[in-house]
Amino acid sequence: MAVLTIPACPAPSDEYLLARFAKGDRSALEELFRRYRGLAYRVAYRLLAHEADALDAVQNGFVKALAHLDSFRGKSSFKTWLLRVVSNAALDLGRQRGRREAIGLGAADHSLANGSEPLSRDDPTLDLQRADLRQLLDAALATLPEAQRQTFVLHAEAELSYREVAEALGISIGTVMSRLFYARQKLRAYLAPRIVR
Amino acid sequence: MSRVALGPWVLSWVTATIIEFAVPPAVQGQVVQVSVVTIAASDRHAHVDKKLECIAREIQKKEPSLTGFRVVRTECKSLPVGTREEIKLCEDQIATVQIVRAADKNNWVSLVFKPPKMGEVSYEVVCGKYFPILTRCQTKNGERLILAIMVRPCPKGQ
Amino acid sequence: MSQEIPDELPPELLAAYVDGKLDPARQATVERWLMEHPDVAEELAGHHHLIQVWRATAVPEPSAVTWTAVFERIKHSLATAPSQPGQRRVFARLGWAVGLAAAGLLVALLIVGRSAEEAAKQLAEESFPVAATHEVQILGLDAADTEALVVGVPPSQGPLVLATAGEVRILSIAPDPADQMVAELLLAAPPDVPMIIAPMVPSPEKAP
């Protein structure tokens, strides 16, 4: 009897799911949504710093991406293309609604203005202060120009490579890298007085 | 792993009777697409069609002597709820399928499927996933037939 | 890269250094350069710390209920979105095509008034239009005949994704009318998949 080693069952590829979706298969849509909703949300949230707005951006992004599949075909991976659409939808929403202040941000800055100790990396209560830390990051991101913010979030949150970010945004890899440097520089300048190492 | 052998014949007769008269008029006219992939499994070679790697792995756990798997035929039919249709398999073998209930809000479809040389199987399954049945039918070459059945709702307007 | 230490390094190189994307030679060059430029070294250390802070502040995931609601809205929006060429459903197009063809034929016969002979002659002189791949749906095909397809794709493409244990509910399995053989349902713990197996040799205890 032959011994046969068969690899683990492969998950359907994005291309396969898109083809099934194009034929009206609702389960393919569900699988695509389940596969990328978390990542899309995290990108949108970082750009908008508001849960409800981020969910709207995810919804708008998915609808736009799937209703215009013809403009996608083969130019990049579906993931890269989807994140481009979602991040653009988030930026559009941010412009329409005015990028909201993060909840409690005013309180965090106010406490610092009163001379409270900055958050310390070695502070044993850091876990409890993660929400404040995230709000500080949100405020710092808001100081970046849109192009730098989008580039930074796609690389840092979505963990897209330089090449993928370049494909998503239609820019050169060199531009991606320089935007990352300057974005980090600005973020550090904003955060340095507020976070002690 | 548990093995379940179901029901005396009377249970299946009662189930079939209920199915026959239980389709509410409201759902008649709904259509479900049924895809049946006929697969031939052999113990004489070890080539596995790439599309069948997943099913081959699962079948091998139960029947390790089957080492080679190939697709013989794929048949798709759009069936209105309630009607019984024949599905061509291979070498004049046919199966019949009847949709009992179209996709509900959770995407489950209820159907009755009768493979050759077997009794009817009544089951519910989510749309878009294949459910395999290893039959005792054999081709002229001695390959054993596996049927993989998948259902999904028809596009709107049908 | 040259062994000389340059006066300045471009931001692209510094970003790649922070991300650990440089090959060993370039990385060594940058590190030598940073030893001569402690202010930039401190800047880049700040960039490293920023990345750590970023990773420490993960965005909280919405609840399953929230995702369900978002998905429902997406489905609704897609269902009411204007039809795109890539999403046209074959059957809906076929229905429209048949309707339009019938109307067109009626108009042609009533208004244009060509004789059947003239129409047949014209048809014979025109090349046959061929359906495009997206205009054909293959419903049944022997695998051996796949190569014969000129347009259209076989009914089943890609790997067969099997239903897992939570995605199938067996209601009943009737015995074979010929010999009363009853197939068995094998239920395995996840991630295995359930399947029905008809034994080649019926178990003696199952015979009526």
- Tens digit of pLDDT for each residue in A70-116? 777 666 789 999 999 999 999 999 888 775 554 444 434 434 434 44
Whole-angstrom distance, CA of residue A114 vs CA of residue A21: 56
Q: What percent of chain B clears pLDDT 90, i.e. is strictly above it?
A: 25
Q: What percent of chain B clears pLDDT 70, i.e. is strictly above it?
A: 78
Pairing of strands B121-126, B108-114: antiparallel
- Asked if C70's CB is within 8 angstroms of A37's CB, the reply is yes
- Say what the pLDDT of residue A41 is: 97
Q: What is the DSSP string of A119-177?
A: EETT-TTGGGGHHHHHHHHHHHHHTS-HHHHHHHHHHHTS---HHHHHHHHT--HHHHH
pLDDT < 50 regions, chain C: 1-2, 86-88, 90-91, 190-191, 205-208
Whole-angstrom distance, CA of residue B36 vs CA of residue A46: 46
Q: Which two tokens stand for residue B50?
A: 């790439």
**Mean pLDDT, chain A, whole residue set:** 80
Reported pTM: 0.52
C84 compared with A40, residue with greater pLDDT: A40
Rounded to a whole number, what is the distance in Å from the CA of A115 to chain C's nearest CA? 22
- Say what the pLDDT of residue A150 is: 96
H or E element in which residue A15 lies:
helix A14-22
Q: Does C80 touch chain A (CB under 8 A)?
A: no
- Say what the pLDDT of residue B6 is: 43
Q: Span A118-139, mean pLDDT?
A: 67
Lowest mean pLDDT among A7-21, A131-145, B111-125, C174-188: A7-21
Rounded to a whole number, what is the distance in Å from the CA of C86 to chain A's nearest CA? 6
- Say what the pLDDT of residue C38 is: 93
Chain C, window 27-56: residues with a beta carbon less than 8 angstroms from a chain A beta carbon: 43, 46-47, 49-51, 53-54, 56
Q: Does C123 touch chain B (CB under 8 A)?
A: no
pLDDT (tens digit per residue) in B44-57: 888 888 888 888 88
Which of the four pLDDT bands, split at 50, 70 and 90, describes residue A165? Answer: very high
- Say what the pLDDT of residue C172 is: 86
Q: Span A142-156, mean pLDDT?
A: 94
pLDDT (tens digit per residue) in A8-28: 455 677 877 887 788 777 888
Q: What percent of chain C clears pLDDT 90, i.e. is strictly above it?
A: 24
| Subunits with 3+ C-beta pairs closer than 8 A to A | B, C
- Asked if B54's CB is within 8 angstroms of A25's CB, the reply is no
Contacts of C156 (CB under 8 A, 6+ apart): B35, B37, B51, B71, B74
Q: Does B129 touch chain C (CB under 8 A)?
A: yes
Are A139 and A149 contacting, i.e. CB atoms less than 8 angstroms apart?
A: no
- Give per-residue burial for C166-200: e unless 16+ CB within 10 Å, then b: ebbebbbbbbbeeeebbbbbbbbeeebbbbbbbee
pLDDT at A176 over 60: yes
- Asked if A1's CB is within 8 angstroms of B127's CB, the reply is no
Rounded to a whole number, what is the distance in Å from the CA of C161 to chain A's nearest CA? 8
A122 compared with A183, residue with greater pLDDT: A183
Rounded to a whole number, what is the distance in Å from the CA of A5 to chain B's nearest CA? 8
- Asked if A137's CB is within 8 angstroms of C15's CB, the reply is no
- Asked if B122's CB is within 8 angstroms of C158's CB, the reply is no
C25: amino acid identity, one letter: A
Per DSSP, the three-state class of C104 is: helix
Instruction: For an interface test with A, give the residue of B48, B55, B57, B65 to mutate (most A CBs within 10 A).
Output: B57
Q: The complex's ipTM?
A: 0.80
- Asked if B119's CB is within 8 angstroms of C173's CB, the reply is yes
Question: What is the CB-side half-sphere exposure of residue C143 using CA atoms within 13 A?
Answer: 18
**Chain B residues inside the 8 Å CB shell of C162:** 54-55, 58, 129-132, 148
- Say what the pLDDT of residue C126 is: 61
Whole-angstrom distance, CA of residue B125 vs CA of residue A31: 16
Q: Distance between the two ends of chain B, CA-based, in angstroms?
A: 41
- Say what the pLDDT of residue A177 is: 94
Size of interface A-B (CB pairs under 8 A): 45
H or E element in which residue B68 lies:
strand B68-80
Q: A161 exposed, middle or buried (CB, 10 Å; 0-12, 13-18, 19+)?
A: middle
